[in-house]
Amino acid sequence: MTTHTHDHVPETEGATITWWAPLYDACTWLVSFGTMPGVRKSTVKAGRLKAGEAVLDVGCGTGDLTLRAARRVGAEGRTAGIDASPNMIKIASRKAAKKGRDIDFRVAPIEDLPFADGEFDAALSSLMVHHLPDDLKVRGLAEVRRVLKPGGRLVVVDLKPGKGIVGFLSHLMGHRLPDDYAEQLKATMQEAGFEDVELLDVKNRMVIFLRATK
């Protein structure tokens, strides 16, 4: 296990968001037509988070979902967020400080999490798995499984492949997803060792929600 400071840039084959991190929130708002707060809310709900639990946000970016998860588990719970991009973690840490939330944000890659086995009740990963090459998707999710308690939940939210405006915008941002991406993701989660992998029935034009247990 390697620990990473805020300035250390970990090696990863994942596509990290670096120079445009300060523009990320605005871009996401525009591309999602302002629907991200609803997606965050559904993600936390899908995670079945309870007060007092320990939750990890993997590839947390600028921390909006992490903050919402922290609110749900409360001060008696524990919230951590990791991202391989120091610029993203800087922004997320600043937001948490501003809101007075005690969140353990760290610069780290999904494939080498700086946590012991079985530390978390739940893990969330939003819009990040498609940033990883296929073999790293499996390795990274297996690493997430390692830090979950037995019976711990994983929620993966990712882009929905599509042909309309949503598909066009994803394409524009360099995300070319196969039509059966949801099925592929399900198989990837199973390959990483997760059980009860299910595609959730959450109505959304842009993203899909999957949940699994360790």
Ligand X SMILES: C[S@@+](CC[C@H](N)C(=O)[O-])C[C@H]1O[C@@H](n2cnc3c(N)ncnc32)[C@H](O)[C@@H]1O
Residues 6 or more apart whose Cβ sits within 8 Å of residue 118? 146, 147, 148, 149, 150, 152
Minimum CB distance to ligand X, residue 63 (Å): 8
Answer for the pair 29, 140: CB distance below 8 angstroms, yes or no: no
Q: Which of residues 80-99 bind ligand X (CB under 6 A)?
A: 83-85, 88
Of the pair 88, 197, the CB lying nearest ligand X is at 88
By CB under 6 A, tell whether 47 contacts ligand X.
no
**Contact pick of 12, 79, 170, 188 for ligand X (by CB under 6 A):** 12
Piece of 56-64, 148-156, 178-186, 202-210 that binds ligand X (CB under 6 A): 56-64
Minimum CB distance to ligand X, residue 104 (Å): 15
Of the pair 3, 195, the CB lying nearest ligand X is at 3
- ∠ CA 65-142-62 to the nearest 5 degrees? 20
Piece of 113-121, 128-136, 179-187, 191-199 that binds ligand X (CB under 6 A): 128-136
By CB under 6 A, tell whether 128 contacts ligand X.
yes
By CB under 6 A, tell whether 61 contacts ligand X.
yes
Minimum CB distance to ligand X, residue 49 (Å): 16
Of the pair 16, 79, the CB lying nearest ligand X is at 16
x/- binding map, residues 131-150, to ligand X, per CB under 6 A? xx------------------
The 3 state secondary structure assigned to the chain is CCCCCCCCCCCCCCCCCCCCHHHHHHHHHHHCCCCHHHHHHHHHHHCCCCCCCEEEEECCCCCHHHHHHHHHHCCCCEEEEEECCHHHHHHHHHHHHHCCCCCEEEECCCCCCCCCCCCEEEEEEECCHHHCCHHHHHHHHHHHHHHEEEEEEEEEEEECCCCCHHHHHHHHCCCCCCCCHHHHHHHHHHHCCCEEEEECCCCCCCEEEEEEEC
Minimum CB distance to ligand X, residue 192 (Å): 14
**Contact pick of 44, 49, 92, 110 for ligand X (by CB under 6 A):** 110
Residues of this chain that bind ligand X (CB under 6 A): 12, 14-17, 28, 59-61, 65, 83-85, 88, 109-110, 126-128, 131-132
